[in-house]
């Protein structure tokens, strides 16, 4: 459950911190905003990650960026509607 230091569970401030956390490591990935929306905040937090100084720190175990080759991503981009 999301907690603010002085807030109640589910407080507006806690949700804003969660929603606005910057996805560290996604912006320099070639798939970000093309084939992917970046790390899933919930998956990062569920796997030991954290939000510190407004940044989402941790790994999304379902990130496929490392599995894709440049050639394969180009082919899929052409086939995409």
For the chain, what are the domain ranges? Answer: 21-75
Radius of gyration of the chain (CA): 15
pLDDT at 55 over 60: yes
Neighbouring-strand partners of residue 11: none
Question: Which tens digits make up the pLDDT trace of 17-32?
Answer: 888 888 888 888 888 8
Q: How far is CA 76 from CA 27, 29, 63, 65, in A?
A: 20, 16, 17, 13
- pLDDT above 50 for 65: yes
Could you tell me the pTM of the whole model?
A: 0.61
Mean pLDDT confidence for 57-68: 84
Looking up tokens 């407004």, which residue turns up? Answer: 54
Residue 72 pLDDT > 60: no
């Amino acid at each position: 459950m999301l907690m603010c230091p002085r807030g109640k569970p589910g407080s507006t401030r806690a949700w804003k911190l969660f929603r606005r956390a910057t996805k560290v490591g996604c912006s320099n990935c070639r798939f970000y905003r093309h084939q992917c929306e970046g790390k899933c905040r919930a998956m990062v937090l569920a796997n030991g990650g954290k939000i510190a100084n407004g940044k989402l720190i941790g790994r999304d175990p379902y990130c496929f960026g490392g599995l894709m080759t440049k050639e394969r991503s180009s082919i899929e981009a052409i086939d995409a509607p």
